[in-house]
Each structure stands twice: as C-alpha cells, then as structure tokens.
Amino acid sequence: MANVYDVAYDLEKALRNSEDFTALKQSYDEVNNNPETKELFGKFRDIQVNLQQKQMNGQEVTPEEIEEAQKLFADVQQNETISKLMAAEQRMSMIINDLNKVITKPLEELYGPMVEEDGQQQ
C-alpha cells in the first residue's frame, strides 16, 4: 500500500514542475527584479494586509486609507507585470484549494458534507 507521505512528496514534485507553478515563479521574479515594480507591489500588499487587519479587529478604516488603496489598486492593475503575477497567484490558490478538496474527500465522506462558506452544501 502506498505510503501517504511518499505520495505527498510526489505531489509536491508534480506541483513544483507544473506549468502553473513555473509561470507563478517567473512572474514573481519578474516583479521582484524590477525595483519600481517591486516597490509598487510591496506597497499594495502592505496596504491590503493593513486594511484586512483593521477590519478583523473592528477598527475604523479612514476615507483617506480607502482612497490610497484605490489609487494603488489602479496603479497595480495598469502594471502588466504585476497583473500577470496576481493572475498566476489566483490560479495557484485555486489549484491548492482543489488539491485540498481532493485529498480530504475521505474525511468529508466520513463526517458528511460540510457547510461551505457560501452557505451551500456540496
């Protein structure tokens, strides 16, 4: 019987060699090798994390902060390199999500369908 950890290492390897991971890595390097792009993306990420934390802690987000975030988002969307990276990240996040669903299927069958975040059962 195949050992789960052995197969997990196979999956890691498959993911590492996948086109999607290669594309992600390439976009990531492209963004980070250009100081201007790197700075813009870093600023955007910082403000995103900052706003999310404020919301989670129930802190007030000022109109100035919202305006700054919107301005940065517009800049980021106009930057082709960053847009490509964000699309690749979204794709990878979808794949990881899919993999988790596949792997935990035996548990879902045992415990019954979970209520999803959108409130629907699957």
Contacting residues toward Ca ion, per CB under 5 A: 113-114, 122
91-108 burial: b if 16+ Cβ within 10 Å, else e: ebeeeeeeeeeeeeeeee
Structure tokens at 51: 């706003």
**Is residue 115 a contact residue for a second copy (CB under 8 A)?**
no
Q: How far is CA 82 from CA 20, 72, 90, 116, in A?
A: 16, 12, 12, 31
Q: Which of positions 2-61 make contact with a second copy (CB under 8 A)?
A: 2-18, 20-21, 24-25, 28
Return the residue matching tokens 């699309």: 87
**Is residue 95 a contact residue for a second copy (CB under 8 A)?**
yes
Nearer to a second copy, 2 or 74 (CB): 2
Window of 64-72, 78-86, 96-104, 113-121 that interacts with a second copy by CB under 8 A: 96-104
**Least Å from the CB of residue 84 to Ca ion:** 26
